[in-house]
Amino acid sequence: MHGMRALRRWTPAGLQLRRALERPGRFLAVSVEEARRREKLVHESAKARGARSVSSHVVDTGFSVVFGLCIACWYFDWFSARETTHLERFTAWLRARQVAVVAFELDHVMCCRPRGDRGISLFELEEYCAGISPDFAEAAAALARRGFFLALVVRGCTPPAAPARSWWRKEEKQPEFVDGPELARKLVARMCPEALGSIKVITSTAAPESSVEDCIQEITSVHRVPARRVVLFTASKDTEQDGQDNTWTGIHVPNPKEGFRYEDLQLPAAADEEGWFELPITLLKQVRSSIGL
């Protein structure tokens, strides 16, 4: 019995199997070399017949390059660079004016629903957020992806007065309200969270004798940009201005029931679109803003 086992070990097939198991790297190298030799013979025979053949190295390299470019385009959102005609014209209009910060007012611009003197209760927050302007939600997310900064302005938010207390009455629990910058942040976080990363300033005119000019100064000081590179979309006709003499631009939003719309701007019929060169410019702007240039 032992003799038969030893005979099986030392047969040619057994020896080849033992060598392959003892040195798998060498066995694999031989197999690869054999495959390359066969491929070379196939190419030579194809050329002898007058056919054209492409090496597998060229095919593998080309496929790797194309696959890598597709992954990069998907990761950096190149495929969704052109969303709507209005959005492209709006972006081209901002770049033509070298705008760095786009500011929106909360009331009747970002959201069409009115807020009370005390703000919005948490029970009504979802209904209030449903009144957001669709064009604002789309534009805010797109501008954030394209390297623009956003700012939010809230007019006339005052803290609610504390209820009077009495020792003979049991104190009733009052509903919690949100107002001012916190309400604007919750609206953006719920309806267009992609834009939160580009918002650094949420200012208000709640302080006594505070005005929109003070809000613009706060925006320019935080972003370190001149006032002429700031655009404010406002529901007040008195705040509208054309941005001449190195001042900020105020765009009036005339319809309070619909809020911000692309049609509020006199957009050009055709815009110079940057297409595939848009991503390097956006990345360069983000790098410069991160290092404080």
Asked if 218 and 199 count as a contact pair (C-beta separation under 8 A), the reply is no
Residue labelled with tokens 């006709």: 237
Query: Which run of H or E residues covers position 233?
Result: strand 230-234
pLDDT of residue 272: 42
Q: Which CATH number among 3.30.1370.10, 3.40.190.10, 3.40.50.1000, 3.10.110.10 corresponds to the domain 85-159+173-290?
A: 3.40.50.1000
The residues spanned by each domain of the chain are 26-74, 85-159+173-290
pLDDT of residue 102: 94
Write the DSSP assignment of 36-73 as a string of letters. Answer: HHHHHHHHHHHHHTT-----HHHHHHHHHHHHHHHHHH
Q: Give the closest residue to 181 by CA, choosing from 159, 151, 205, 203.
A: 203
pLDDT of residue 16: 58
The whole-model pTM stands at: 0.59
Q: Which tens digits make up the pLDDT trace of 196-222?
A: 999 999 988 876 667 888 899 999 999
Higher pLDDT, 184 or 279: 184
Higher pLDDT, 273 or 174: 174
Q: Which two tokens stand for residue 172?
A: 């009733």
Taking 60 as the threshold, does the pLDDT of residue 162 lie above it?
no
